[in-house]
Structure 1
Protein backbone atom coordinates (compact mmCIF):
# COMPACT_ATOMS: atom_id res chain seq x y z
CA UNK A 1 0.00 0.00 0.00
CA UNK A 2 1.19 3.50 -0.79
CA UNK A 3 -0.14 6.59 0.97
CA UNK A 4 0.14 10.37 0.59
CA UNK A 5 -1.48 13.35 2.32
CA UNK A 6 -2.13 16.63 0.48
CA UNK A 7 -3.92 19.56 2.14
CA UNK A 8 -5.56 17.30 4.72
CA UNK A 9 -6.69 14.62 2.27
CA UNK A 10 -5.12 11.17 2.63
CA UNK A 11 -4.95 8.88 -0.40
CA UNK A 12 -4.14 5.18 0.10
CA UNK A 13 -3.75 2.74 -2.81
CA UNK A 14 -3.66 -1.08 -2.96
CA UNK A 15 -3.20 -3.02 -6.19
CA UNK A 16 -3.82 -6.58 -7.34
CA UNK A 17 -3.01 -8.38 -10.59
CA UNK A 18 -6.13 -9.76 -12.28
CA UNK A 19 -4.86 -13.07 -13.68
CA UNK A 20 -8.34 -14.22 -14.73
CA UNK A 21 -8.82 -11.08 -16.88
CA UNK A 22 -5.32 -11.07 -18.37
CA UNK A 23 -3.97 -12.67 -21.52
CA UNK A 24 -0.16 -12.39 -21.62
CA UNK A 25 0.03 -14.11 -25.03
CA UNK A 26 -1.89 -11.13 -26.44
CA UNK A 27 0.00 -8.51 -24.38
CA UNK A 28 -2.97 -7.87 -22.11
CA UNK A 29 -2.27 -7.53 -18.38
CA UNK A 30 -5.14 -6.38 -16.17
CA UNK A 31 -4.68 -4.80 -12.75
CA UNK A 32 -7.23 -3.64 -10.19
CA UNK A 33 -6.57 -0.89 -7.69
CA UNK A 34 -8.48 0.15 -4.60
CA UNK A 35 -8.25 3.76 -3.50
CA UNK A 36 -9.37 5.13 -0.17
CA UNK A 37 -9.77 8.90 0.17
CA UNK A 38 -9.86 10.12 3.77
CA UNK A 39 -10.83 13.68 4.63
CA UNK A 40 -8.58 14.68 7.54
CA UNK A 41 -9.42 18.37 7.12
CA UNK A 42 -12.02 20.47 8.93
CA UNK A 43 -14.13 21.06 5.81
CA UNK A 44 -16.35 19.03 3.53
CA UNK A 45 -14.88 18.34 0.10
CA UNK A 46 -16.14 17.02 -3.21
CA UNK A 47 -14.06 15.08 -5.72
CA UNK A 48 -14.67 16.81 -9.05
CA UNK A 49 -12.23 15.18 -11.49
CA UNK A 50 -9.11 13.07 -11.88
CA UNK A 51 -5.99 12.92 -14.00
CA UNK A 52 -3.85 9.80 -14.38
CA UNK A 53 -0.41 9.30 -15.87
CA UNK A 54 -0.02 5.60 -16.72
CA UNK A 55 3.43 4.22 -17.53
CA UNK A 56 3.85 0.88 -19.28
CA UNK A 57 7.33 -0.67 -19.14
CA UNK A 58 7.45 -0.74 -22.96
CA UNK A 59 7.97 3.03 -22.69
CA UNK A 60 4.37 4.06 -23.37
CA UNK A 61 2.86 6.91 -21.35
CA UNK A 62 -0.89 7.47 -21.31
CA UNK A 63 -2.79 10.36 -19.78
CA UNK A 64 -6.40 9.82 -18.70
CA UNK A 65 -8.67 12.61 -17.47
CA UNK A 66 -12.30 12.61 -16.48
CA UNK A 67 -15.01 13.77 -14.15
CA UNK A 68 -15.33 12.07 -10.78
CA UNK A 69 -14.39 8.45 -10.17
CA UNK A 70 -16.35 5.35 -11.23
CA UNK A 71 -19.23 7.58 -12.35
CA UNK A 72 -19.63 9.66 -9.17
CA UNK A 73 -18.37 12.92 -7.68
CA UNK A 74 -18.48 11.98 -3.99
CA UNK A 75 -18.79 14.46 -1.15
CA UNK A 76 -16.55 13.52 1.77
CA UNK A 77 -17.25 15.18 5.09
CA UNK A 78 -14.54 15.83 7.73
CA UNK A 79 -13.44 12.57 9.34
CA UNK A 80 -15.14 10.48 6.65
CA UNK A 81 -13.70 8.42 3.80
CA UNK A 82 -14.69 7.18 0.37
CA UNK A 83 -13.26 4.07 -1.27
CA UNK A 84 -13.62 2.65 -4.77
CA UNK A 85 -12.12 -0.02 -7.00
CA UNK A 86 -11.14 0.48 -10.61
CA UNK A 87 -8.75 -1.07 -13.09
CA UNK A 88 -6.00 -0.51 -15.62
CA UNK A 89 -4.70 -2.64 -18.45
CA UNK A 90 -1.09 -2.70 -19.63
CA UNK A 91 0.63 -4.28 -22.63
CA UNK A 92 3.53 -5.45 -20.42
CA UNK A 93 3.79 -7.20 -17.07
CA UNK A 94 4.84 -4.10 -15.16
CA UNK A 95 4.18 -0.40 -15.03
CA UNK A 96 2.99 2.34 -12.71
CA UNK A 97 0.30 4.97 -12.21
CA UNK A 98 0.24 8.37 -10.55
CA UNK A 99 -1.96 11.40 -10.77
CA UNK A 100 -4.15 13.83 -8.91
CA UNK A 101 -7.73 14.59 -8.02
CA UNK A 102 -9.27 18.02 -8.31
CA UNK A 103 -11.24 18.61 -5.11
CA UNK A 104 -13.66 21.37 -4.26
CA UNK A 105 -13.73 22.72 -0.70
CA UNK A 106 -17.44 23.14 -0.05
CA UNK A 107 -17.43 26.03 2.44
CA UNK A 108 -15.68 28.50 0.13
CA UNK A 109 -15.99 26.80 -3.30
CA UNK A 110 -12.20 26.62 -3.66
CA UNK A 111 -10.62 24.03 -5.96
CA UNK A 112 -7.35 22.32 -5.08
CA UNK A 113 -5.31 19.34 -6.28
CA UNK A 114 -4.70 16.23 -4.20
CA UNK A 115 -1.77 14.04 -5.24
CA UNK A 116 -2.33 10.36 -5.94
CA UNK A 117 1.00 8.75 -5.02
CA UNK A 118 2.75 6.69 -7.65
CA UNK A 119 2.01 2.99 -7.33
CA UNK A 120 3.42 -0.02 -9.11
CA UNK A 121 1.51 -2.46 -11.29
CA UNK A 122 3.59 -5.64 -11.35
CA UNK A 123 2.63 -9.22 -12.17
CA UNK A 124 3.48 -11.31 -9.06
CA UNK A 125 5.94 -13.65 -10.80
CA UNK A 126 8.13 -10.62 -11.62
CA UNK A 127 8.73 -10.14 -7.88
CA UNK A 128 10.38 -13.58 -7.42
Structure 2
Protein backbone atom coordinates (compact mmCIF):
# COMPACT_ATOMS: atom_id res chain seq x y z
CA UNK A 1 0.00 0.00 0.00
CA UNK A 2 1.37 3.42 -0.94
CA UNK A 3 1.78 6.24 1.56
CA UNK A 4 -0.94 8.25 -0.20
CA UNK A 5 -3.43 5.41 0.30
CA UNK A 6 -2.48 5.01 3.95
CA UNK A 7 -3.01 8.68 4.83
CA UNK A 8 -6.20 9.79 3.14
CA UNK A 9 -9.05 11.94 4.45
CA UNK A 10 -11.96 12.83 2.16
CA UNK A 11 -13.52 16.23 2.85
CA UNK A 12 -17.05 17.12 1.69
CA UNK A 13 -18.63 20.54 2.20
CA UNK A 14 -22.16 21.89 1.84
CA UNK A 15 -22.86 25.61 2.31
CA UNK A 16 -26.08 27.52 2.84
CA UNK A 17 -27.05 31.17 3.13
CA UNK A 18 -28.46 32.25 6.53
CA UNK A 19 -30.93 35.08 5.75
CA UNK A 20 -31.98 35.60 9.39
CA UNK A 21 -28.45 36.61 10.42
CA UNK A 22 -27.59 38.50 7.24
CA UNK A 23 -28.09 42.20 6.50
CA UNK A 24 -27.42 43.03 2.84
CA UNK A 25 -27.92 46.75 3.57
CA UNK A 26 -24.90 46.52 5.89
CA UNK A 27 -22.86 44.29 3.53
CA UNK A 28 -23.23 41.39 5.98
CA UNK A 29 -23.82 37.98 4.40
CA UNK A 30 -23.82 35.01 6.78
CA UNK A 31 -23.27 31.46 5.57
CA UNK A 32 -23.37 28.15 7.39
CA UNK A 33 -21.27 25.27 6.15
CA UNK A 34 -21.39 21.61 7.01
CA UNK A 35 -18.23 19.54 6.71
CA UNK A 36 -17.94 15.75 6.64
CA UNK A 37 -14.50 14.20 6.99
CA UNK A 38 -14.14 10.52 6.13
CA UNK A 39 -10.98 8.54 6.80
CA UNK A 40 -10.61 6.63 3.53
CA UNK A 41 -7.05 5.62 4.35
CA UNK A 42 -5.75 2.71 6.40
CA UNK A 43 -4.20 4.67 9.29
CA UNK A 44 -6.05 6.17 12.26
CA UNK A 45 -5.50 9.94 12.17
CA UNK A 46 -6.34 12.96 14.31
CA UNK A 47 -7.29 16.41 13.06
CA UNK A 48 -4.88 18.83 14.78
CA UNK A 49 -5.49 22.18 13.09
CA UNK A 50 -7.16 23.95 10.19
CA UNK A 51 -6.22 26.51 7.56
CA UNK A 52 -9.02 28.25 5.67
CA UNK A 53 -8.73 30.62 2.72
CA UNK A 54 -11.96 32.61 2.40
CA UNK A 55 -12.38 34.87 -0.64
CA UNK A 56 -15.31 37.22 -1.07
CA UNK A 57 -16.82 38.42 -4.33
CA UNK A 58 -14.59 41.50 -4.34
CA UNK A 59 -11.46 39.36 -4.14
CA UNK A 60 -10.75 40.14 -0.47
CA UNK A 61 -9.01 37.16 1.12
CA UNK A 62 -9.16 36.13 4.78
CA UNK A 63 -6.93 33.37 6.08
CA UNK A 64 -8.00 31.57 9.24
CA UNK A 65 -5.73 29.20 11.14
CA UNK A 66 -6.46 27.49 14.41
CA UNK A 67 -6.41 24.34 16.47
CA UNK A 68 -9.08 21.74 15.81
CA UNK A 69 -12.60 22.44 14.61
CA UNK A 70 -15.47 23.65 16.81
CA UNK A 71 -13.25 23.07 19.84
CA UNK A 72 -12.54 19.44 18.95
CA UNK A 73 -9.62 17.47 17.54
CA UNK A 74 -11.43 14.37 16.29
CA UNK A 75 -9.64 11.03 16.00
CA UNK A 76 -10.76 9.07 12.94
CA UNK A 77 -10.16 5.36 12.56
CA UNK A 78 -10.21 3.99 9.00
CA UNK A 79 -13.77 4.24 7.66
CA UNK A 80 -14.91 6.63 10.40
CA UNK A 81 -16.63 9.95 9.71
CA UNK A 82 -16.81 13.22 11.61
CA UNK A 83 -19.35 15.90 10.71
CA UNK A 84 -19.55 19.44 12.04
CA UNK A 85 -21.13 22.76 11.16
CA UNK A 86 -19.71 26.25 11.37
CA UNK A 87 -20.16 29.59 9.69
CA UNK A 88 -18.57 32.46 7.86
CA UNK A 89 -19.48 36.11 7.34
CA UNK A 90 -18.73 37.89 4.06
CA UNK A 91 -19.15 41.48 2.88
CA UNK A 92 -20.41 40.25 -0.51
CA UNK A 93 -23.29 37.90 -1.46
CA UNK A 94 -20.90 35.43 -3.12
CA UNK A 95 -17.55 33.97 -2.12
CA UNK A 96 -15.50 30.80 -1.87
CA UNK A 97 -13.83 28.79 0.85
CA UNK A 98 -11.02 26.24 0.60
CA UNK A 99 -8.06 25.12 2.63
CA UNK A 100 -6.71 22.13 4.51
CA UNK A 101 -6.80 20.25 7.77
CA UNK A 102 -3.48 19.32 9.33
CA UNK A 103 -3.64 15.69 10.43
CA UNK A 104 -1.34 13.40 12.40
CA UNK A 105 -1.55 9.63 12.05
CA UNK A 106 -1.10 7.25 14.96
CA UNK A 107 2.42 6.44 13.68
CA UNK A 108 3.36 10.14 13.96
CA UNK A 109 3.16 10.87 10.22
CA UNK A 110 1.80 14.36 9.54
CA UNK A 111 -0.23 15.05 6.41
CA UNK A 112 -2.76 17.52 5.07
CA UNK A 113 -6.36 16.76 4.16
CA UNK A 114 -7.26 19.18 1.37
CA UNK A 115 -10.58 21.03 1.57
CA UNK A 116 -11.72 21.44 -2.04
CA UNK A 117 -13.07 24.89 -2.95
CA UNK A 118 -16.77 25.41 -2.40
CA UNK A 119 -19.05 28.37 -3.13
CA UNK A 120 -20.88 30.55 -0.63
CA UNK A 121 -23.75 32.25 -2.45
CA UNK A 122 -26.93 34.05 -1.55
CA UNK A 123 -29.84 32.42 -3.42
CA UNK A 124 -30.64 33.92 -6.82
CA UNK A 125 -27.25 35.67 -7.06
CA UNK A 126 -25.61 32.96 -9.19
CA UNK A 127 -27.37 31.60 -12.28
Superposition TM-score, scaled by structure 2 size = 0.93
Aligned pairs, number: 123
Give ranges in structure 1 of 5+ residues lacking alignment: 1-6
Q: Spell out the pairing of 1:1-128 with structure 2 (5 A cutoff).
A: 7-106=7-106, 108-128=107-127
**TM-aligned CA deviation for residue 54 of structure 1:** 0.5
**TM-aligned CA deviation for residue 8 of structure 1:** 2.1
SS in 2 for 1:25: helix
**TM-aligned CA deviation for residue 33 of structure 1:** 0.4
**TM-aligned CA deviation for residue 46 of structure 1:** 0.1
**TM-aligned CA deviation for residue 113 of structure 1:** 0.7
Q: Deviations over 1:23-58 (max 9, x none)?
A: 000000000000000001111110000000110112
CA distance in 2, matches of 1:72, 1:18: 24
Q: Deviations over 1:95-128 (max 9, x none)?
A: 100000000011x111111100000001012134
Match of 2:4 in 1: none
Match of 1:4 in 2: none
Superposition TM-score, scaled by structure 1 size = 0.92
Structure 1 runs, 4 residues or longer, greater than 2 Å off: none
CA distance in 1, matches of 2:62, 2:83: 24
CA distance in 2, matches of 1:125, 1:60: 22
Give ranges in structure 2 of 5+ residues lacking alignment: 1-6
Task: Determine which structure has the larger strand proportion and give its number.
Answer: 1
CA distance in 1, matches of 2:109, 2:47: 12
